[in-house]
Structure 1
Amino acid sequence: MDRSASLVEQLKTVADPRPGEPVYPLVNILFMTICAVIAGADDYDAIAKLANTKKN
């Protein structure tokens, strides 16, 4: 039986539509957004607040 790909590996397959050289990789943004929503974030401000508290 084949193992399923990890969530991060799946997120790496998402094409990044942002122009130029972004500050953060898209996979990091998507992963943090998913984690924040699981933790109860219900809007962009809550997602950003959680992401900033986990930045370092």
Structure 2
Amino acid sequence: MDTLIFGILLAVSLLIIFSKSRWLVLGSWAVGAIATLGLFAYHANDVLDLSF
């Protein structure tokens, strides 16, 4: 899952660099941002098994 989101972020960054369409750039950025925030929300709720 993490690798897929990083691949999406790479594709979005390449699209931002090479695309002329503003709406395509903004839409792909929004998809990447939502995927990243979803991954953060998934991992932020995990319990850490720490023993000191």
Under TM normalisation by the shorter chain, which class is it?
A: 0.3 to 0.5
Larger RCO (CA within 8 A; separation ≥ 6): 2
Please, what TM-score do these two structures have when normalized by structure 2?
Answer: 0.34
Please, what TM-score do these two structures have when normalized by structure 1?
Answer: 0.32
Larger Cα-atom Rg? 2
